[in-house]
Amino acid sequence: MIILDQVSKTYRVRGQQNVVLDRISAVFPSGMSIALLGANGAGKSTLLNILAGGLRPSTGQVRITGRVSYPIGFSGAFHPDLSGAQNARFVARLYGADTQDLIAFVDDFSELGAHLHLPVSTYSAGMKARLSFAIAMGIPFDTYLMDEVTAVGDGAFRKKSIAVFEARRASAGAIVVSHSTPMIRQICTCGAVLDQGRLSFHNDIETALNHHEAVLARGVAA
């Protein structure tokens, strides 16, 4: 379970205060696959990074039960001068996973081939996303944070990614950011809409998607 208690995040941009998250209080239940919806720039990635512990909220608290993944698809945490395999070893040690087992899984799943042993600085964005997804799927988290990662790659890789994610969902929850409505319907049962810094939680995914569409329509009309 993840509990947000009056969580805010603000940045100063050119001397002005930009409020990205505004006193959010919400509960993300354990074991559920939750869509995190919002327009571009609404703060979805910021919220994921706060949940992962990579960012501190400006105010408020985040209380977490269980182990939460890093934002899968976000490759900024990888050391560019280390190879994919070396980065996998580092993550394995960080989360107490078996290094050899994780590297074997990543090698098989990511389809990076010889690139797995080359510096991450030589990777394309898609290769980094494959590495990030493979490492995360190889570690048993209680909640997976997914940021558009299953949109990367060809149809066969996307199908394989969804299959392994579905297997992990049997014993874990997820918070999923995706612009693909069909994918959201396929893997999520409820949703939360981030709009103008506030978060609205919906127990029904269709209600969440309808709210999200209304937000997008309002933006177009404006």
Q: What percent of the chain has pLDDT over 70?
A: 94
Q: Write down all domains in the chain, each with its CATH number in brackets.
A: 2-221 (3.40.50.300)
Quickly state the pLDDT bin for 220 (edges 50, 70, 90): low
Express each pLDDT in 106-118 by its tens digit: 999 999 999 999 9
Q: Strand 198-202 to strand 190-195: parallel, antiparallel, or no bridges (unpaired)?
A: antiparallel
Distances (CA, A) of 29 to 63, 64, 76, 203: 12, 10, 28, 10
Q: Mean pLDDT for the chain?
A: 89
Question: Whats the size of the chain, residue-wise?
Answer: 222
Contact status, residue 142 vs residue 72, Cβ threshold 8 Å: no
pLDDT of 20 higher than 50: yes
Quickly state the pLDDT bin for 218 (edges 50, 70, 90): confident
pLDDT, position 16: 85
User: Is the model more confident about 185 or about 12?
Assistant: 185
pLDDT of 157 higher than 90: no
pLDDT, position 84: 95
pLDDT, position 151: 53
Quickly state the pLDDT bin for 23 (edges 50, 70, 90): very high
- Mean predicted confidence (pLDDT) in 78-94: 93
Contacts of 165 (CB under 8 A, 6+ apart): 137, 144, 146, 150, 174, 187
- Mean predicted confidence (pLDDT) in 60-68: 93
Ramachandran angles phi, psi of 129, nearest 5°: -65, -40
pLDDT, position 149: 63
What is the sign of the dihedral through the CA atoms of 147, 148, 149 and 150?
Answer: positive
pLDDT, position 128: 87
